[in-house]
Amino acid sequence: MTAKLSEVDLKAIVPTYAKEFEMIQVLDKEGNVVDEETLNEITDEELVSLMKDIVWGRTLDTRTIILNRQGALGNYATAGGQEASQFGSLAAITKDDFLVPTYRDLGVITRHGLPMYKTFLWYKGHVAGNQYDKDFQAYVPQVMVGGTLTPAAGVAIGKKFNHDTKSVVLALCGDGATSQGDFYEGINFAGVYHAPLITVIQNNGYGISVPSNKQTAAATFAQKGVAAGIPSLRVDGMDPVAMYATVKKAREYALAGNGPVLIEALTYRFGPHTMSDDPKRYRTDEELAEWLEKDPLKRLRNYLTQKGLWSPEQEAEVEEELKKEVKEAMARMAKEPAQKVSDFLKNMFEVTPPSLARQVKKYEAKEME
Ligand SMILES: Cc1ncc(C[n+]2csc(CCOP(=O)(O)OP(=O)(O)O)c2C)c(N)n1
């Protein structure tokens, strides 16, 4: 088939994808079931475990904000509100799957298995916070916006080349990250190689203070996957069950050798971008109030409480455990020897190149003085 240029209507060419990207939801904001079929595929144990993750994540966020204000930790990118897109996604993967998180996903990487004191060392800018056990399946949290996608695609392509049919890669990024070249390069190559990469774009509506409509003229972030030939979905990112079920489905699809899946999660951060940000300068109280009503924690709590699967006592237990974990992690962090310049120079390459080795020697001599 060929087309006649005179019949081409430029205005009609960019689809809105309104139908293709209808938002997937399982629980509505009150915690009522809107997709029974999907929910029936999930056991009560899985839902309770997901609830524990979310309460754990919310409590960690609250504690970390306090520690930052006390000056005990470095600057912090708050995560409250984004627990469904974070922990719903995490719950759908296993410890053998590879996680590529951003600076906002510190709770996620800790729940994936990074010792909490290492997470805290990362906040302090200590090199030991970047040194992981060889078996731990994750990269250090990426601060370069969009920078999760190229290494994530690399790991996924490696899995494909090595005929690994048992694990996938989960890469997280924000809506702002999708404006970066790295994002397109990463998803493009994952698409070309049919690599098992699941990308979750946590669309919280802002890149710091820049709203979505100033970042892209596209109607959705999900449609950015279409040009890379990647099945893409749009999910209620405040619905923990929808996130869990969608990432699980994407994982099965990728494990079957079909290639990547891209998911746009519609979410919101309740707090500031980081502790040095004042969101009141670019968001209204009404907007925040609207999103607070969609709170993923309240939503799953309502549903599980109705079913008799969750109680305030269970919630308090998770909170107490987390607080204990934080206390122990802070004590362990304090025992870490102060870092030396030579330590982080040595941490950059598996085999230190000669030019760097010379610098290491120079610093080591100074450090001995
Ligand atoms: C390459 C690069 N440019 C700019 C920054 C500064 N910066 C830090 S966070 C951020 C906004 C990112 O927004 P988004 O990807 O939506 O993620 P969110 O912070 O909302 O989770 C920017 C511009 C950076 N860290 N890296």
Cα separation of 129 and 151, whole Å? 19
| Cα 104 to ligand 1 centre (Å) | 10
Tokens for 154, please give them: 């690399």
- The answer, yes or no, to whether any atom of ligand 1 lies below 6 A from the CB of 177, is yes
Average pLDDT over residues 340-364: 91
Is residue 20 over pLDDT 90?
no
- Asked if 175 and 261 touch (Cβ cutoff 8 Å), the reply is no
- The answer, yes or no, to whether any atom of ligand 1 lies below 6 A from the CB of 264, is no
Average pLDDT over residues 14-22: 85
Which of these, 112, 157, 163, 159, lies nearest to 139 by C-alpha position? 112
pLDDT computed for residue 14 by the predictor: 84
pLDDT computed for residue 347 by the predictor: 86
Domains along the chain? 14-337 (3.40.50.970), 339-369 (no CATH)
- The answer, yes or no, to whether any atom of ligand 1 lies below 6 A from the CB of 174, is yes
Q: How distant, in Å, are the alpha carbons of 48, 53, 187, 311 from that of 315?
A: 11, 11, 38, 6
Residue 254's pLDDT band (boundaries 50, 70, 90)?
very high
pLDDT computed for residue 19 by the predictor: 84
3-state secondary structure (DSSP) of residue 264: strand
Q: Which residues are catalytic?
A: 269, 273, 282
Q: Which atom of ligand 1 is nearest to the CA of 145?
A: 26
pLDDT computed for residue 17 by the predictor: 83
- Asked if 309 and 44 touch (Cβ cutoff 8 Å), the reply is yes
Residue nearest to atom 18 of ligand 1 (CA): 174
| Cα 101 to ligand 1 centre (Å) | 13
pLDDT tens sequence across 325-336: 999 999 999 999
| Cα 129 to ligand 1 centre (Å) | 21
Average pLDDT over residues 101-129: 96
Average pLDDT over residues 291-316: 98
pLDDT computed for residue 348 by the predictor: 84
- Asked if 195 and 153 touch (Cβ cutoff 8 Å), the reply is yes
Average pLDDT over residues 215-238: 96
pLDDT tens sequence across 161-211: 999 999 999 999 999 999 999 999 999 999 999 999 999 999 999 999 999
User: 172 - beta bridge partners?
Assistant: 200
- The answer, yes or no, to whether any atom of ligand 1 lies below 6 A from the CB of 206, is yes
Please provide the average confidence, as pLDDT, over all residues in the chain: 96
Helices (H), the chain: 10-13, 36-40, 44-69, 83-91, 106-112, 116-123, 149-161, 181-192, 240-255, 285-292, 296-306, 312-334, 341-346, 354-368
| Cα 25 to ligand 1 centre (Å) | 27
pLDDT computed for residue 152 by the predictor: 98
- The answer, yes or no, to whether any atom of ligand 1 lies below 6 A from the CB of 141, is no
pLDDT computed for residue 120 by the predictor: 96
pLDDT computed for residue 350 by the predictor: 85
Other C-beta atoms closer than 10 Å to the C-beta of 304 total: 20
Percent of the chain with pLDDT over 70: 100
- Asked if 100 and 170 touch (Cβ cutoff 8 Å), the reply is yes
pLDDT tens sequence across 95-104: 999 999 999 9
3-state secondary structure (DSSP) of residue 143: coil
